[in-house]
Amino acid sequence: MNRSEIVKLLTTLTQQNAKALELLALALEQETDQAPGPIPEWMPTESAWLALSLPSAEALRRKVRKGVFEQGYHYRLANHDPQASLKRYEFHIQRCLTRLADPPRNWAKPKRA
């Protein structure tokens, strides 16, 4: 790994940590004297990747494209406009965590006969 690759990697990690700290700060600001509420069942991609401890939102989208998650169970389309250029997803956090806890060999789609 050369110097420029190391610098690029450190920059990426720093940006990810900054986003995580920002979300944590927002959560602490909203905290009240009451017990904290549960994690929402469905979360948009922009916050789901952090809740699932993935390196980026793109890593989460890649798992969708590879078929790790099943549409309608692990994720759903969030934008209902068929003319939308970008698909927006919402993820069921608990179901996705359970799926990611499975060994990757179990993620493969069943082969058709």
Same domain assignment for residues 23 and 75: no
Tell me the residue range of the domain where 17 lies.
1-28
Whether 20 is in a domain gets the answer yes
Whether 47 is in a domain gets the answer yes
**pLDDT, tens digit, 9 for 90 and up, residues 18-53:** 777 677 677 666 655 455 556 678 999 989 999 999
Whether 16 is in a domain gets the answer yes
Same domain assignment for residues 19 and 55: no
Least Cα distance to 96 among 61, 55, 48 occurs for: 48
Same domain assignment for residues 56 and 13: no
What per-residue confidence (pLDDT) applies to 86? 75
What per-residue confidence (pLDDT) applies to 21? 66
Q: What percent of the chain has pLDDT over 70?
A: 77
Same domain assignment for residues 2 and 54: no
Whether 53 is in a domain gets the answer yes
Average pLDDT taken over every residue of the chain: 80
